[in-house]
Structure 1
Amino acid sequence: MKIQLIATDLDGTLLADDHRTVPERSKEALRLASEHGILTAIASGRTTGILLPVFRQVPQVRYAVISNGAAAVDLHTGERLFSRPFPEQKLHRILDILEDFPHVMLEIYADGESWVPEKDRPILEARAKESPFWLDFASATHLAADLKEALKGHEVEKITVGGMRPGDKECLLEAVDASSSLAVSSSIDSYMELNEKGVNKGEGLSRLCDRLGVPSAEVMALGDGDNDFELMDWAGVSVAMCNGLAQTKARARYVSSLSNEEGGAGEAIERFVLRPAGIVK
């Protein structure tokens, strides 16, 4: 079956370990695929504004499924293709509950940008000094004294909660009734990502492909983390990175031969797309 669309995660997959750089082998593979009429997409937990530094390295990539599948955009035109935001009432309830955990750090993605409480300014400043990676986020990040007020009129895609202490995650998830009302991604106890119920990368990519007329059997997806599980389940050719989580590898049909740092995404695209199509030897 000929692959019509390639969708790749960013951190731990397309990007090297610095979370900023696309290895040359992966750049070249995406360029060749695009030149030969194969659609390319990013499927990321990031929102649009904080994946733009990556897009500049691979400008041929046309689409992005963002914020774990909460929305999709055409990166060439800026058009938002669909979105599944939090209802305002649910968002306010979650923010009210999070006020009882003042030590955690919140980051909220809405309309392609990021909002952070003013109280967390010192954390952002420390991050910027710690690694250039965080500087990439600066232009798309807003500080807000009142998140509810700042987010009025915006479509909220995702809430991230970091810096949790032991026991916080369980308490928070119970308080917000996560099992029946939210989609939760979390592979470590101190951090989690919250989306509207039913939102995930697999569902988001499915909606994008429906719009483009591409069946799942003709989609290749690459990922490494817990928020890539449904991506691995949905795509006809799913490839987990060899550096990824064991659970992600178990749900994928294939595993890359090389790591993200070594250009493993590019190697996989060569193996499953470019070589079978006679584009490379």
Structure 2
Amino acid sequence: MASRIFFSICSTALLFIFSISHAYNANSKTVDLDKACNSTLYVDYCKSVFKSNVSLTMHDYSRISVSKSLSAAKKFLQLVESHLKNRQASMTTIQALEDCQLVAGLNVDFLLESSVTINATDTLSLVVIDHVQTQLSATITNHDSCLDSLNATASGQSVKNDLYSSLTDGTKLHSISLAFFVGGWVYTSNTGKVQKEGRKALQASLCQALVNVTVIVNQDGSGNFTTISDAIAAAPNNTNGGNGYFQIHVVEGVYQEYVTIGKNKKYIMIVGDGINRTVITGNRSVGGGSTTFGSATLG
């Protein structure tokens, strides 16, 4: 399976560290629940969950939906962790549950940060809008990854059945949260051009990203580390990025390792020597007993 690369010098995934002066004004128009829910993929579910006779702004609907999504994400994480305590589960089921535990934990983090952001103000910069939208989109993808891992297991049907309802409802809630956020903060009219131009400017800025420390990984021992995993382990924990990135330059070569970047390792930039020159590879596969999610060499 191809590696999932999360960090690069010029990547839109890093947009959240920059700011732009343009900001949108509050969306102050009230909308009834039927109209708000009609903007989602799950209209009936939306109406059943929110049950409101009071018209609210899309900002308010967004705040409420993200709060509900966060609550659901926490409950799902607890459910997964309760199943992990079962010592009778097969190894493939445990691997699938560990995948679900990882992505569920990320969802809690993403939704908590998004909730704090949108509850703090009615005015968000383009960069913050883009970041929140990315986080809310990721919660849906993460649920899909968990479901894929569960479906790939050869056993543990009772576990899958127990988690499926929570997974399904969570996906619907996260989708509604994304739709409401888009309706409240992401506009498709006159601001579309401004947002497009703003992202171009941000993309150019990323090529000059501030780097605080650079370490070198080289298998011949001439660098600071011989493995990428050791370099990541040496990076400081929970940095705020104010002083720049911890850059890891991986010298040309084939690195046979599985690299995991923990959520406490922030503002890490991994740079190779180019396509087909710096390669991270492994041999995990579903056929060999791994989950698809767990087969990635970089994650």
- With the shorter chain as reference, the TM-score category is under 0.3
Task: With the length of structure 2 as denominator, give the TM-score of the two structures.
Answer: 0.24
Higher strand share: 1
TM-score, normalization by structure 1: 0.25
Question: Which one has the largest radius of gyration?
Answer: 2
